[in-house]
């Protein structure tokens, strides 16, 4: 009975009109961009925007760490000051690469120098990322010490803010065609 049902179902399935089975067509592989100069220009332009976004996030987190340090004492204050220092380093490392690229025509005319600048921006962003990760280690240690409220909530907020900084720097690296190290 079951085999009659299966045979009946097979008979109902659609068949190609020419009697041959056809395989699905493979997806087209993306080829090189139509204009590699324009593609690199867009990478740099978008990456610069991401660097500026990261710098804004770092500046905000730096302010938060400084405010918290001003209210604390002892080891916690020292740790928050160190975090602010790491954030200062992270932002300073990126600051040389926050300027918008030149017009496309100027970019194309000085392509090799612009590509070199892009590579330096990726390297600087990876350095900035290291400083941010050092700051995260300190925040995690402060949170592991089980601070009382409201300090715990403030540290959790600062930790989330740092996560946003890290994500923004990673996005900048990837957008510029680099690899996060």
DSSP string, 21-86: --PPPPPPPP---S-HHHHHHHHHHHHHHHHHHHHHHHHHHHHHHHHHHHH--HHHHHHHHHHHHH
User: Is 9 within a domain?
Assistant: no
Residue 6 domain-assigned? Answer: no
* CA contacts within 13 A on the Cβ side of 111: 10
Q: Over 90: is that where the pLDDT of 2 sits?
A: no
Percent of the residues in the chain that have a pLDDT greater than 90, as a whole number: 71
| pLDDT band with cut points at 50, 70 and 90 for residue 31 | low
Residue 62 lies in a domain: yes
Nearest CA-CA partner of 118 in 80, 172, 70: 172
Q: Is the pTM of this model over 0.95?
A: no
| Domain assignment of residue 24, yes or no | no
Mean pLDDT (whole number) for 33-58? 90
Residue 51 has what pLDDT?
95
Print the domain residue range for 44: 33-175
Q: What confidence tens digit (pLDDT) does each residue in 139-178 have?
A: 999 999 988 888 889 899 999 999 999 999 999 999 999 9
CATH number at residue 128: 1.20.140
Whether 90 is in a domain gets the answer yes
- Identify the helix (H) or strand (E) that includes residue 112: helix 111-144
When pLDDT is averaged across residues 52-60 and rounded to a whole number, the result is 94
pLDDT at 14 over 60: no
Distance CA 22, CA 148 (A): 67
**Domains: count for the chain:** 1
Q: Is residue 113 part of a domain?
A: yes
Q: Is 1 a residue whose pLDDT tops 50?
A: no
Does 141 fall in a domain? yes
pLDDT at residue 13 is higher than 70? no
Residue 27 scores a pLDDT above 50 = yes
Q: Find tokens 């332009």 and name the residue.
A: 45
> For residue 45, is it within any domain?
yes
């Amino acid at each position: 009975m079951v085999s009659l049902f299966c045979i009946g179902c097979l008979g109902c399935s659609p068949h190609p009109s020419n009697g041959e089975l056809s395989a699905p067509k493979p997806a087209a592989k993306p080829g090189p961009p139509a204009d590699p100069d324009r593609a690199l220009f867009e990478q740099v332009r978008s990456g610069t925007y991401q660097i500026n976004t990261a710098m804004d996030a770092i500046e905000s987190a730096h302010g938060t760490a400084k405010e918290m340090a001003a209210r604390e004492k002892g080891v916690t204050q020292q740790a928050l000051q160190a975090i602010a220092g790491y954030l200062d380093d992270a932002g300073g490392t990126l600051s040389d690469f926050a300027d918008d690229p030149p017009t496309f025509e100027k970019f194309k005319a000085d392509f090799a120098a612009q590509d070199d600048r892009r590579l330096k921006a990726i390297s600087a962003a990876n350095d900035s990322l290291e400083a941010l990760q050092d700051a995260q280690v300190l925040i995690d240690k402060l949170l592991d010490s089980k601070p009382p409220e409201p300090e715990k909530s403030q540290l959790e907020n600062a930790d989330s803010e740092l996560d946003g900084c890290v994500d923004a720097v990673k996005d900048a690296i990837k957008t510029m065609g680099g690899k996060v190290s």
